[in-house]
Amino acid sequence: MRKNGSKAVVLLSGGMDSCVAAAIAAERYQLAMVHVGYGQRTEGRERRAFDDVCDFYGVNLRLATRLDHFRQIGGSALLDRSIPVPETGPGPEIPVTYVPFRNAHFLAVAVSWAEVIGATAVVIGAVAEDSSGYPDCRPEYYRAFAEVVRQGTRPGSGIEIHTPVIGMSKEEIVRKGMELGAPLAKTWSCYQYEDEACGVCDSCVLRLRAFARAGLVDPIPYRAGVAL
């Protein structure tokens, strides 16, 4: 699978999109995987998914870290249990699950580590389809960040930002993951629960819809009554 010896630092949340981004990166790069916990509700479950996906790809270069300041800063239903996670389906506005400027923190961790280990790529599973809700999921954002990386790392570090699934629909992400044998059964997307996915938060709704459109059944466990 590995076409050359270059390393890529992959931001692996534990969810489906970053798992498929990792599967794509695995075709070309030696993988180094980062997980960033930030006090989100399902942090423990996502961390387990991270370890499972790393094991699947035989990744030894793992950095699992935790950012405590998001909890101090607040402002999101993913962090603040007094703000309920919506169960009415995604709308056109920025949802209460938005964590302000979140992906910049994740990219900063990945780029610093890439510079130290000599990786030439940082891979993030952002999806533009999500960008009505999250401004830091758009291609323009990643083009701007790539310029920050060019300006702010050692001359010659040559670190590129890759967003291999940014233009895909969720259905295409599922199909691509299946095609590449990505371990989607080991991933976790639910915003609310860690044992069985709720099936009704925005993240579950988008995931279930993607599997249904791809004509597949999502292999992870859902609460009783959720239509798969």
In what helix (H) or strand (E) does residue 213 lie, and over which residues does it extend? Answer: helix 202-213
Min CB(170)–a second copy separation in Å: 22
Nearest to 172 by CA among 123, 222, 127, 219: 127
Residue 204 Cα distances to 93, 119, 128, 140, 222, angstroms: 18, 33, 17, 26, 9
Count how many Cα atoms sit within 13 Å of the Cα of residue 130 in the half-sphere of its side chain: 19
Query: Is position 63 an interface residue for a second copy (rule: CB under 8 A)?
Result: yes
Which 104-143 residues touch a second copy, going by CB under 8 A? 104-105, 107-109, 111-113, 115-116, 135-136, 138, 140-141
Burial of 154 (0-12, 13-18, 19+ CB in 10 A): exposed
Among 22, 26, 85, 99, binds a second copy (CB under 8 A): 99
Query: Is position 2 an interface residue for a second copy (rule: CB under 8 A)?
Result: no
39 vs 199, which CB is nearer to a second copy?
Answer: 39
Query: Is position 70 an interface residue for a second copy (rule: CB under 8 A)?
Result: yes
Binding residues vs a second copy (CB under 8 A): 63, 65-70, 72-75, 94, 98-105, 107-109, 111-113, 115-116, 135-136, 138, 140-141, 144-145, 147-155
